[in-house]
Structure 1
Amino acid sequence: MAGGKGGGQGGRGNKAGSPRKGAQVGSGGKRRRSLEGKGPTPRAEMRKGHPAQRKADAATKRAQAPRARAAGQRPAAKVPYKANRQISELIAGRNSVVEALRADVPGTALFVAQNIDADDRVREAVTLANHRGIPLMEVTRQEVDRLTDGAIHQGIALQIPTYEYAHPDDLLTRALDAAETPLIVALDGVTDPRNLGAIIRSAAAFGAHGVLVPERRSAGMTAGAWKTSAGAAARLPVAQAGNLVRTLDSYRKQGLLVAGLSARGTADLADLEAGAEPLVLVVGSEGKGLGRLVEQTCDVTVRIPIAATTESLNAGVATSIALYEVAQRRAKAHRL
């Protein structure tokens, strides 16, 4: 009987050595308070080490990166260098590079493949580059392949800088500073860089003060234009117009006659009496000619008489003929 009572009391934890534990007398409820709940479970993104928390931290860093860059701070993560990033345009090929350097085409680097057969053209290119202070970069042939995007380069390529266009008003200022009668060539829709280069060369040869091109739908000063200009682009400024019609209208308000070269011209080029006056000669593309709004902006349109079997002339050729006619008229007026 006593053993049964002892077992019962041990079950309530009233005796030392009992395997079961319970609240002790005099504890003041300390154990009870420690078992109370600690509030709702935090969300996953708030729990340290949880995948959702790491994902939220990464999103926060990405959002803060642009603000850090704007404030001039260095981003925490480094951006890896991309070996295939694009650089400025290149002129490739031994003949092309030598001709470009002879013509004073600007260059920022001359790339020469390692272990190539250095003939007279390569040696001349290296010599010209050294005289002009253009850095010589010796690279692998595979690197030249990559830089020229698979073009035929013969182990050599010349990097040219981005062209800095003049403002349209600069062309007029150039003529006034030289105390000369302004002559500007404006192009509408001429998209072939070789035509642009040829026109720049003719404009320089016949005393023009600059060439004007639109920002859109027009050839720009690429390597092809530089090469075709045969160095004239280094002497004659090329300006860009955000809106060709407005720029031509601005020239008119400053006293220049705007003459459009068009197959639909109302008079022959030889009859252009105002050729010796301040003049803007506007040339259109070989296929479409002058745009409608541009032609409407012109004070006069003139044509070059050609055989009926020929539809039109190349823009570069037509510009050369027109500039020659203007130069002849100006020379005659000067003699008088």
Structure 2
Amino acid sequence: MSAPGERLIYGAGPVRELIARRPAAVRAVWVDPHRAGRSTSDPVAAIVVAARAAGLRVEDRDRRALDHAAGPDARHQGVIAWLGAFAYTELAAMVAAAAAPALIVALDGVEDPRNLGAILRSAYLLGAGGVIIPEHRAAAVTAACAKASAGASELVAVAQVGNLVRALDELRERGLWRVAVDAAPGAQPIETLDGTLPLCLVLGAEGTGVRPLVARSCDFHAVIAMAEDRGAIGSFNVAVAAALALYEVSRQRRTRDSR
């Protein structure tokens, strides 16, 4: 049985959100017929109705086929959406489309597609306008990334650039302040950063962090404080650090808007 796409996402919530927001990204939807035939109070049955209304191909597949496609231990809930090759966004278009004040994430050498997927998920949920990744020596938006993102890879813009330093320079020209999220000497606590400014949060790979050349292109350095005497095991996972940094910026912006 050949797969109708190169990548997939699974689970009722992610598939429903994708069909509602970007149905054109979906090549086919596989469903468990035992759930799809129930009343629309069942999430999978409701997804079938929405998919057909959007003109999408819906195919019944037994539990074994769904388990095999989604992979070991995946909680697909009886529904899988198949996707085509990923379409990256141009950097200029990403910035232009971002809600003001812009919030962009740039990743320097993050190689684990699961970390990238988790970062895309946080970026989408916390209101970022997009994520920038290098073309070389970094994870791309692959099938593993799409799975880890729970569908967010299709809902947040991703720009793949040949030179991250040049991309950061372009962001500065477009009015964004570049913030390296790291523990460099003199880094300010992230809660003291003015999150209401147009920002690009720059995060590096675990172990190496933001490379010096990239760090020199940043306007600020911000550190996420850990509890005292808890640093012996190392720093935050990059996906966790991204989520914490994005949350802090989002929190500040919500506070400002509520005044």
Task: State the number of aligned residues.
Answer: 240
CA contact (8 A) 2:7 2:146 kept: no
- Letter of the 2:236 counterpart: L
Please report how far the alpha carbon of residue 99 of structure 1 lies from its aligned counterpart in structure 2 after TM superposition.
5.2
Aligned to 1:275, what secondary structure does the other structure show? coil
Identify the residue that residue 287 of structure 1 maps to in structure 2: 207
- Pairing partner for 2:133 from 190, 213, 222: 213
C-alpha distance 111-266 of structure 1, shift in aligned 2 (>3 A): same
- Pairing partner for 2:35 from 111, 120, 127: 120
- Letter of the 2:134 counterpart: P
Aligned to 2:8, what secondary structure does the other structure show? strand
- Pairing partner for 2:152 from 206, 209, 232: 232
Identify the residue that residue 181 of structure 2 maps to in structure 1: 261
Identify the residue that residue 70 of structure 1 maps to in structure 2: none
Aligned to 1:102, what secondary structure does the other structure show? helix
Aligned to 2:225, what secondary structure does the other structure show? coil
- Pairing partner for 2:50 from 118, 131, 155: 131
Deviations 1:230-257 (A, max 9, x none): 3434432122212111000111122211
Counterpart CA distance in 2 for 1:139 and 1:271 is 49
Give the aligned CA root-mean-square deviation in angstroms.
Answer: 3.6
Task: Please say if 1:89 is aligned against 2:6.
Answer: yes
CA contact (8 A) 2:108 2:210 kept: yes
Please report how far the alpha carbon of residue 282 of structure 1 lies from its aligned counterpart in structure 2 after TM superposition.
0.4
CA contact (8 A) 1:262 1:283 kept: yes
Deviations 1:166-187 (A, max 9, x none): 1111222113xx4x21111111
Counterpart CA distance in 2 for 1:270 and 1:263 is 10
Counterpart CA distance in 2 for 1:273 and 1:138 is 51
Higher strand share goes to which structure? 2
CA contact (8 A) 2:8 2:83 kept: yes
- Letter of the 1:91 counterpart: L
Identify the residue that residue 79 of structure 1 maps to in structure 2: none
- TM-score, normalising length: structure 2: 0.74
Deviations 1:193-240 (A, max 9, x none): 222222222223332211111122222223333333334344321222
Instruction: Specify the structure having the higher radius of gyration (Cα).
Output: 1
Please report how far the alpha carbon of residue 157 of structure 1 lies from its aligned counterpart in structure 2 after TM superposition.
5.8
C-alpha distance 251-233 of structure 1, shift in aligned 2 (>3 A): same
Please report how far the alpha carbon of residue 125 of structure 1 lies from its aligned counterpart in structure 2 after TM superposition.
5.0
Please report how far the alpha carbon of residue 328 of structure 1 lies from its aligned counterpart in structure 2 after TM superposition.
2.9
Seq. identity, %: 35
Counterpart CA distance in 1 for 2:245 and 2:103 is 12
Q: Which has the higher contact order (CA 8 A, sep 6+)?
A: 2
- Pairing partner for 1:104 from 11, 18, 36: 18
Please report how far the alpha carbon of residue 302 of structure 1 lies from its aligned counterpart in structure 2 after TM superposition.
1.7
Runs of 4+ in 1 over 4 A off after TM superposition: 97-100, 121-127, 137-142, 150-158, 332-336
C-alpha distance 127-310 of structure 1, shift in aligned 2 (>3 A): same
C-alpha distance 308-88 of structure 1, shift in aligned 2 (>3 A): same
- Pairing partner for 2:197 from 277, 286, 289: 277
Counterpart CA distance in 2 for 1:272 and 1:110 is 46
Task: Please say if 1:181 is aligned against 2:96.
Answer: no
- TM-score, normalising length: structure 1: 0.59
Query: Unaligned regions of 5+ residues in structure 1, if any?
Result: 1-82
C-alpha distance 137-276 of structure 1, shift in aligned 2 (>3 A): closer
Aligned to 2:18, what secondary structure does the other structure show? coil
Counterpart CA distance in 2 for 1:141 and 1:327 is 40
Counterpart CA distance in 2 for 1:257 and 1:118 is 51
Counterpart CA distance in 2 for 1:163 and 1:266 is 39
CA contact (8 A) 1:266 1:300 kept: no
Aligned to 2:245, what secondary structure does the other structure show? helix
Counterpart CA distance in 2 for 1:122 and 1:91 is 22
